[in-house]
Structure 1
C-alpha cells in the first residue's frame, strides 16, 4: 500500500513523475519513459496543456478524425470527431453519405434557455416570501448589472428569476429558479457568478425586510449553481425521404428495412434496457464532436440522459415513423454549448476543429452536433436491422487486435485479406495470427 504524500501539488512536474514511478511502477525507468514520450516537443505548447488541469504528468491522446459529406440545411460540412472507439467515425461518414443523396439533414433550434438555481431554506410564511421575492426583483437585476452588462450587449443576460416552493418534497426548501441566455458562450462561469450575487442579495435584503420576523430574516443559502439539465435548450435534427428511396441494402426490400427500423426505434421508446444502449450510440457521435470542439461532454451526457427520462421512464431520444410512404427519423436533444471562452480559445486542435466547421455560432454548433448524433444512431440501427452490428464493428476493431499482438505489416496484410470474407472475432484473429507465425 502506498503511503500518503504531503505537498504533492507543490512538487515540480519532474518530481511528481518520479514520485509516481517510484511508488506505483514495477519498472520505474520504463514508466517515466512512457510518460515523457507523450510530451509535446514544443515546450510552450506543452506548458499550455500542463496548465489546463492540476498535477499534470503528460498528455493522454485521443485520435482526431473527420466524417465528411454532411449536408445540413443545404450546407456541406466535414465534422471533426475525437474518439477512441472503432467504427464510430466510419459509421457517421457512411450515414452522412447516405443522406447527402436524399436531401440531407434538417435542423431546428427549439430553444436556447439555460438554467441556474439558488437553493436556500426559509422558515416562516410562504406568502410573505413570495411578496418579498417579487418586490426585490429590481434589486436582483441591479446588483448583477456589473456581471451581465457585457452579456446584455450581445443580446443575453438573465431572462427571469422565479421563486419555487419545494417544501412538499423537503422541509423549508425553496429555490430561486433563474433562466439565462448566454449567446455563443456555454456560460457556466457567467451563470454561477450571477447566482452567487443573487444569493448574496437575497440574504442581505431578507435580513432587513420589515415584514419578516427574526426567524424569517434568517434565510440560509445552501448553494448556488447552474444546472446541466437544460430542457429548454433543445435542437431537433431529422432526415426523411420516400420509403422507395431507402434501397441500398442487399437481401432486404425498402419497405421491410423501413418497417424494421421503425420497430427498432419503438422498442427503444418503451424498453429501458434497450434505450440505454440505443442512446449510448447517439452519444458516441455527439461526445466525439463535443470533445473535438472543446465543450463539456460530461455535462452534455448528464443533460441528455435526464431529458431521456423526463416523462418518468428512461426512453429513446430518437423517433421514427412511416406516413403516406415517407420515412422520417428525428431526434430532439438538449445541448448547452459554447463557441467562445474556455478551451475553445485555448486548445490549438479545438481552434482547428472550429475552423473546419466554419467558425460556427453556438446555435450552429448545436445543429451540427445533433446531426452527428442522429447520423450515428441511423448507422447503428441500419446495421442492427440488416447485417448485424458485429460485422462492421469487428472489422474496424480488427486493427486494434493486430496492434495488441504486435503484428508486423506483412502479418496485418495477410490477416486483413483473410477476414475480408470471414466473421471477425477476437479468438479467430488471434488463432489465425498464431497459425501464420507457426508457418513462417
Structure 2
C-alpha cells in the first residue's frame, strides 16, 4: 500500500485529479474526462462553486425542476425543486392541481424559536449553581449585545436562557438551554457565536463567585452548539374539502376514498415500518425545496425525524380526519430555514429559486416547504390506495431505463408510446426494446 498523501488540500484541482487518477482510477482517461466535463466554462462561476467546500474536483449536478399551480394561502406559486428521483415533481404538481380547485393549501407558522446549548460540568452544590445563574443571567445577555444588536433591530435575538440540571443522566452535567429567534436567517453562526460568548462569561464569572469553593469555581465547558432539533419552530400545512368533492375517480366516491385514506394514515401512525417510508415521501417534497433554496437539508431531516419520535414512538407526521362531512389532511413539522446568509446570496440557482418564490421571508419559506411535503405525501397515499405506487412511478422511471440501455431517440419515442397503455417494468421495457432492435 502506498503512503498517505500529504498536503492534498494545497494541490491545484488538476493535481488533485491527477493524484486521484494515479492512485484509484488506474489512469482512466475517460474518468478524468467525466470529472472535467462537469466543470463550468465560466471561470468565475466555477471558482465560486470550488469555494463552497474543500478539495473540490468537479461539480455534482441534480435536476432543477418546477412544480406549478400551488395555491398557498390564496397566492399562486410555482415551487422550484432540486431532486433526482423520478415522479416526485410530477406527483407534487398533480397534488397542487388537485387541491387548487378545492381551496388550495393553508399554511401557518406557529413558532420561530430555535435552540442552542452550552454543555458543561460542575462539581458542586446544585443550589449554589442556581443562585449563581440568577446573578449571571443579566451579564450573559449584556455580553452578547454586540452580536445580537443587528438581529434585535430585525425583531430577533435571544429569547431566553435556562439552567438545566442533567446530573440524573450524567454525573455533574448541566446545560445552559437557550432560545433564539433568528428572523430570516437560518442562524447557525449567530447562535453558535452567542453560545461561545455565554460559555466564556460562565467560566470567567464562576471564578469570581464568592459562594463557590475552589473546586466549584472550576467549571468545565464541554461544548457550545446549536441544536438541529427545533420542536418550537413549527409550521402547519393543511388542506380540506367536503367529502363529495374529494374523489376524482369515477369508480370511487368521496366517502370510500376518505375511508381508505384515513386507514392508510392510521397505519402510518401505528406501524413504524410504514411510518418511515411514509415520512420519507414527505421528505421527498421537503428536501427538494430546501436544497433548491440553499438550506441545510441534513439538519432539516434530522430535526423532522426526531420530531416524528417525540412521544417515544416513531410515527406519521401527517394526519387526517373526517368531521361533519369535511375531509381534513394536515401536518406540523419543525423547520429552521433561512432566506438570507449562507448560499442564498452566493449560488446563482439558489438566488433564482428564491426569486421564483417571490423573495419569501423565512416564515414564508417554511410554509412553502411544508406545503410541498404535504402535497407529496397526499399524492403518494392517493396512489397507494387507488392505482398503486408503481404505475405512476415506473412510467416516470421509464426514461432512466431507456438511458441505461442507450436507447436512440427513435427507440425512446416508440417505447414511450407503447407504454402509454401498458404496465412498465424493467423486464418489459428491455423485452420491448430488444423486439424493436430485432425488427
Q: Answer whether TM exceeds 0.5 for this pair.
A: yes
SS at match of 1:136: helix
CA shift for structure 1 position 436: 1.3
Paired position in structure 1 for 2:8: 8
Paired position in structure 2 for 1:206: 206
Query: Which segment drifts farther, 149-158 or 232-241?
Result: 149-158
Paired position in structure 1 for 2:244: 244
User: Within 2, Cα distance between the matches of 1:127 and 1:27?
Assistant: 67
SS at match of 1:77: strand
Paired position in structure 1 for 2:98: 98
Alignment of 1:135-214 (within 5 A): 135-214=135-214
CA shift for structure 1 position 65: 0.3
CA shift for structure 1 position 142: 1.0
CA shift for structure 1 position 250: 3.9
Paired position in structure 2 for 1:332: 332
Paired position in structure 1 for 2:426: 426
CA shift for structure 1 position 93: 0.3
Paired position in structure 2 for 1:289: 289
Paired position in structure 2 for 1:309: 309
CA shift for structure 1 position 420: 1.3
Paired position in structure 2 for 1:388: 388
Paired position in structure 1 for 2:367: 367
Paired position in structure 2 for 1:256: 256
SS at match of 2:226: strand
Query: CA 1:2–1:358 in structure 2 vs 1: closer, same or farther (change >3 Å)?
Result: farther
Paired position in structure 2 for 1:88: 88
User: Within 1, Cα distance between the matches of 2:202 and 2:284?
Assistant: 42
CA shift for structure 1 position 417: 1.4
Q: Which runs of 5+ in 2 are unaligned?
A: none
User: Within 2, Cα distance between the matches of 1:247 and 1:261?
Assistant: 11
CA shift for structure 1 position 161: 0.7
Paired position in structure 2 for 1:400: 400
Query: CA 1:2–1:317 in structure 2 vs 1: closer, same or farther (change >3 Å)?
Result: farther
CA shift for structure 1 position 24: 1.4
User: Within 1, Cα distance between the matches of 2:364 and 2:45?
Assistant: 29
**Residue 58 of structure 1 pairs with residue 80 of structure 2:** no
Paired position in structure 2 for 1:348: 348
Paired position in structure 2 for 1:108: 108
Query: CA 1:96–1:406 in structure 2 vs 1: closer, same or farther (change >3 Å)?
Result: same
User: Within 2, Cα distance between the matches of 1:205 and 1:158?
Assistant: 20
Paired position in structure 2 for 1:299: 299
CA shift for structure 1 position 26: 3.8
CA shift for structure 1 position 2: 5.7
The alignment of Structure 1 onto Structure 2 pairs a total of residues equal to: 439
Paired position in structure 1 for 2:17: 17
Paired position in structure 1 for 2:416: 416
User: Within 1, Cα distance between the matches of 2:290 and 2:108?
Assistant: 19
User: Within 2, Cα distance between the matches of 1:157 and 1:392?
Assistant: 47
CA shift for structure 1 position 247: 2.3
CA shift for structure 1 position 428: 1.3
CA shift for structure 1 position 251: 2.4
Paired position in structure 2 for 1:70: 70
User: Within 2, Cα distance between the matches of 1:358 and 1:74?
Assistant: 14
CA shift for structure 1 position 27: 4.8
Q: Deviations over 1:356-410 (max 9, x none)?
A: 0000000000000000000000000000000000000000000000011110011
CA shift for structure 1 position 432: 1.4
CA shift for structure 1 position 30: 1.1
CA shift for structure 1 position 348: 0.2
Paired position in structure 2 for 1:323: 323
User: Within 2, Cα distance between the matches of 1:309 and 1:315?
Assistant: 6
User: Within 2, Cα distance between the matches of 1:27 and 1:244?
Assistant: 65
Q: Deviations over 1:295-325 (max 9, x none)?
A: 0000000000000000000000000001111
CA shift for structure 1 position 28: 2.3
